């Protein structure tokens, strides 16, 4: 089959899918969902640049401390297992 035939077949399949979704009401629900999501996002208060930088520093420090604690506990347990066996 030629490329033109495949394009026509795929266009027909996509068109039929679109018609099915439209008649089933899925597209209307998607439109409503997007509109409601945009309304909710307008109500949100977004952090300032300074608040965002401060939060990022806190999260980074927390991750480093938790990682260090995990390494330390792993090292201690490894030494205990080696000592016991």
Going from N- to C-terminal start, the domains of the chain cover: 1-44, 47-85
Print burial letters for 38-49: b (CB count within 10 Å at least 16), e (below 16): eeeeeeeeeeee
The pTM assigned to this predicted structure is: 0.51
Q: Count CA within 13 A, CB hemisphere, residue 67.
A: 6
The mean pLDDT value for 15-37 works out to 91
pLDDT at 12 over 90: yes
CB count within 10 Å of CB 21 equals: 14
**Phi-psi category of residue 2: left, alpha or beta, with phi > 0 → left and psi -120 to 50 → alpha:** beta
On the 0-12 / 13-18 / 19+ scale of CB atoms within 10 A, 9 is exposed
Using the structure block, give the residue that is written with the tokens 């520093």. 57
Q: What percent of the chain has pLDDT over 90?
A: 78
Q: Given this model, what pLDDT does residue 61 score?
A: 98
């Amino acid at each position: 089959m030629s490329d033109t035939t495949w394009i026509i077949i795929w266009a027909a399949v996509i068109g039929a899918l679109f018609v099915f979704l439209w008649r089933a009401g899925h597209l209307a629900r998607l439109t409503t969902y997007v509109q409601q999501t945009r309304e909710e996002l307008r109500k949100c208060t977004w952090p300032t640049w300074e608040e965002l930088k401060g939060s990022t520093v806190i999260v980074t420090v927390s991750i480093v401390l938790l990682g260090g604690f995990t390494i330390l506990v792993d090292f201690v347990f490894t030494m205990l297992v080696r000592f016991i066996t």
